[in-house]
A and B are shown apart, each in its own frame.
Chain A
Amino acid sequence: MTETIDNLLERIGRNFQITGQEVKKAGLAALHCSQEQLHGVLIYLKEVEKFDTLTMIGCADWIEDDYFELSYMAYSFTTFFTVMVKIRVSRDGSSVPTVEGIWRQARTFEREIHEMFGVDFPGNTRLKEFFLENWQGMPPMKRDFDTVQFVKDHYKLREEGREGACNVSVERKKRIDAKKLELKKEGE
Chain B
Amino acid sequence: MAQDIITIFHGPQHPGITGNMSVELDLLGETIKRAETHVGYLHRGFEKMIERRTVLQAFTIVCRICVPEPDPNEENFARGVEELMGLEVPEKAKWLRTMVLEMARLQAQMLWFAGQGGSLGHYISPQWAVADRDLILDLFEELTGGRVYHMYITPGGVRRDLPEGFLGRLGHFLDYLESRLPEYDNMLLRNPVFLERARGVGIIDPATAREYGVVGPNLRACGFMNDIRKDEPYEMYGEVDFIVPTETSGDVYGRAMVRRAEIEQSISILRQIIRRMPAEKEIMAVLPKNHRKWEVPKGDTLVKTESARGEYSYYMVGDGTDKLRRVQVKGPSAVHAITLLEEMLVDSQLSDVAMIMNSLGTNPPEIER
Contact = CB atoms under 8 A, between A and B. Distances in A.
Tell whether any CB of A sits under 8 Å from a CB of B in the complex.
yes
B339 to A, nearest CB: 5
Given A105-B212, A132-B43, A24 B301 contact: yes
Contacts of B47: 116, 141
A12 interface: no
Interface residues of A, number: 39
Interface residues of B, number: 39
A31 B19 CA distance: 38
Nearest to B300: A60
Given A25-B301, A140-B48, A141-B48, A56 B325 contact: no
Interface stretch (A77-85, A89-97, A159-167): A77-85
Given A105-B213, A108-B334, A130-B368, A71 B315 contact: yes
B317 interface: yes
Contact of A53 (B43, B213, B302): B213
A55 B313 contact: yes
A22 to B, nearest CB: 9
B54 to A, nearest CB: 16
By DSSP majority rule, is chain B's interface helix, strand, loop, or mixed?
mixed
Nearest to B225: A77
A59 B224 contact: no
A59 B328 contact: yes
Chain A facing B: main interface SS: mixed
B190 interface: no
B211 interface: yes
Contact of B51 (A80, A132, A143): A143
B211 A52 contact: yes
A60 B326 contact: yes
B338 A147 contact: no
A61 B210 contact: no
Interface string B322-334: 0001101010001
Q: Which of B51, B213, B232, B299 has the most CB of A within 10 A?
A: B213
A131 interface: yes
Contacts of B212: 104-105
5 contacts: A58-B328, A61-B325, A107-B339, A141-B47, A148-B52
Given A59-B328, A104-B208, A132-B40, 20 more contacts: A24-B301, A25-B301, A52-B211, A53-B211, A55-B213, A55-B304, A55-B313, A56-B313, A56-B315, A58-B315, A60-B325, A104-B211, A104-B213, A105-B335, A108-B338, A131-B43, A131-B368, A132-B43, A133-B40, A147-B49
Interface of A: 24-25, 27-28, 30, 52-56, 58-62, 71, 73, 77, 80, 82, 84, 103-105, 107-109, 116, 129-133, 140-141, 143, 145, 147-148
